Structure 1
Amino acid sequence: MTRILHVLDHSLPLHSGYTFRTRAILRAQIAQGWEVRGITGHRHSAPWQQAEEMVDGLHFHRTPGAPATGNALVREWRDIAAHADAIEALVRQWRPDVIHAHSPVLNALAAQRVARRHGIPTVYEIRAFWEDAAVGNGTGTEGSPRYWLTRQLETHAVRAADAVAVICEGLKGDLIARDIDAGKIIVSPNGVDLDQFGTPVPRDPALTAALGLEGADVIGFIGSFYDYEGLDDLIAAMPALVRARPKAKLLLVGGGPREEALRAQAMASPFADHIVFVGRVPHDQVEHYYAQVDILAYPRKAMRLTDLVTPLKPLEAMAQGRLVAASSVGGHRELIEDGVTGTLFPPDYPAGIAASLEGLFADRAYWDERRAIARAFVERERNWSSNILRYEPVYQRLLGLPSRARAAA
Structure 2
Amino acid sequence: MDVTELRVALFTGNYNYVRDGANQALNRLVGYLLKQGAAVRIYSPRTDKPAFPSVGKVVGVPALALPGRGEYRAPIMIPPRVRRDIAAFDPTIFHVASPEILGHRAVSLARAHGRPVVASVHTRFETYPRYYGVAFLEPLVLAALRRFYRRCDAIVAPSESMAQLLREQRMSYDVGIWTRGVDEDTFNPARRSMEWRRSLGIADDEVVVGFVGRLVMEKGLDVFSDTIDQLQKRGVRHRVLVIGEGPAREWFERRLPQAVFAGFQKGEDLGRAVASADMLFNPSVTETFGNVTLEAMAVGLPVIAARATGSQSLVTDGLTGRLVRPGGIAAFADAIQQYCDDPDARRTAGAAGREASRRYGWDQVNQELVDTYLRIARQRAAGGRAPRMGPNP
Same fold (TM over 0.5): yes
Q: 1:196 to 1:137 in 2, by over 3 A?
A: farther
State the 1:196 CA deviation.
5.2
- Kept after mapping to 2: 8 A contact 1:3/1:97: yes
| 1:58 paired residue number | 56
- TM-score with structure 2 setting the length: 0.82
- Kept after mapping to 1: 8 A contact 2:339/2:345: no
Q: 1:225 to 1:185 in 2, by over 3 A?
A: same
State the 1:172 CA deviation.
3.2
Greater Cα shift, 229-238 or 93-102: 229-238
Using the alignment, how far apart are the partners of 2:18 and 2:333 within structure 1? Answer: 34
| 2:214 paired residue number | 224
The answer to whether the aligner puts 1:167 opposite 2:158 as a matched pair is yes
* SS across alignment from 2:343: coil
Provide, for residues 285-309 of structure 1, a one-character-per-residue CA deviation record: whole Å limited to 9, x for no partner.
21121122011111236xxx46xx3
The answer to whether the aligner puts 1:348 opposite 2:327 as a matched pair is yes
Provide, for residues 292-332 of structure 1, a one-character-per-residue CA deviation record: whole Å limited to 9, x for no partner.
2011111236xxx46xx332210111112222112333442
State the 1:83 CA deviation.
2.7
- Kept after mapping to 1: 8 A contact 2:186/2:268: no
Match of 2:281 among 278, 294, 297: 297
The answer to whether the aligner puts 1:100 opposite 2:95 as a matched pair is yes
Provide, for residues 49-108 of structure 1, a one-character-per-residue CA deviation record: whole Å limited to 9, x for no partner.
7xxxx9354332211x453999xxxxx9x954x236454222122222211111234333
Percentage of identical aligned residues: 21
- Kept after mapping to 2: 8 A contact 1:167/1:310: yes
Provide, for residues 97-152 of structure 1, a one-character-per-residue CA deviation record: whole Å limited to 9, x for no partner.
211111234333121122123322111112234333x32552x72333xx555433
Using the alignment, how far apart are the partners of 2:60 and 2:209 within structure 1? Answer: 40
| 1:117 paired residue number | 112
Using the alignment, how far apart are the partners of 2:172 and 2:66 within structure 1? Answer: 37
| 2:129 paired residue number | 135
- Kept after mapping to 1: 8 A contact 2:200/2:260: yes
State the 1:251 CA deviation.
0.6
Structure 2 letter corresponding to 1:24: R
| 2:262 paired residue number | 278
| 2:313 paired residue number | 334
The runs of 5 or more residues in structure 1 that have no matched partner are 71-75
Q: Give the length in aligned residue pairs.
A: 373
Using the alignment, how far apart are the partners of 2:90 and 2:35 within structure 1? Answer: 20
Using the alignment, how far apart are the partners of 1:131 and 1:79 within structure 2? Answer: 19
* SS across alignment from 2:136: coil
Using the alignment, how far apart are the partners of 2:166 and 2:302 within structure 1? Answer: 33
Using the alignment, how far apart are the partners of 1:287 and 1:178 within structure 2? Answer: 36
Match of 1:126 among 98, 121, 127: 121
Note the 1:311-390 alignment, pairs <5 A.
311-380=290-359, 382-390=360-368
Provide, for residues 206-228 of structure 1, a one-character-per-residue CA deviation record: whole Å limited to 9, x for no partner.
42222111221111111112223
Q: CA RMSD in A?
A: 3.2
- Kept after mapping to 2: 8 A contact 1:193/1:385: no
The runs of 5 or more residues in structure 2 that have no matched partner are 68-72, 387-393
Using the alignment, how far apart are the partners of 2:349 and 2:189 within structure 1? Answer: 16
- Kept after mapping to 1: 8 A contact 2:215/2:248: yes
Q: 1:353 to 1:152 in 2, by over 3 A?
A: closer
Structure 2 letter corresponding to 1:385: D
* SS across alignment from 1:232: helix
* SS across alignment from 2:111: helix
Greater Cα shift, 252-261 or 241-250: 241-250
- Kept after mapping to 2: 8 A contact 1:116/1:405: no
State the 1:252 CA deviation.
0.9
Structure 1 letter corresponding to 2:48: P
- TM-score with structure 1 setting the length: 0.80
Provide, for residues 338-374 of structure 1, a one-character-per-residue CA deviation record: whole Å limited to 9, x for no partner.
1112122343243333321221132222444432322
* SS across alignment from 1:104: coil
State the 1:200 CA deviation.
4.1
Greater Cα shift, 370-379 or 249-258: 370-379
The answer to whether the aligner puts 1:151 opposite 2:142 as a matched pair is yes
* SS across alignment from 1:160: coil
Structure 2 letter corresponding to 1:143: F
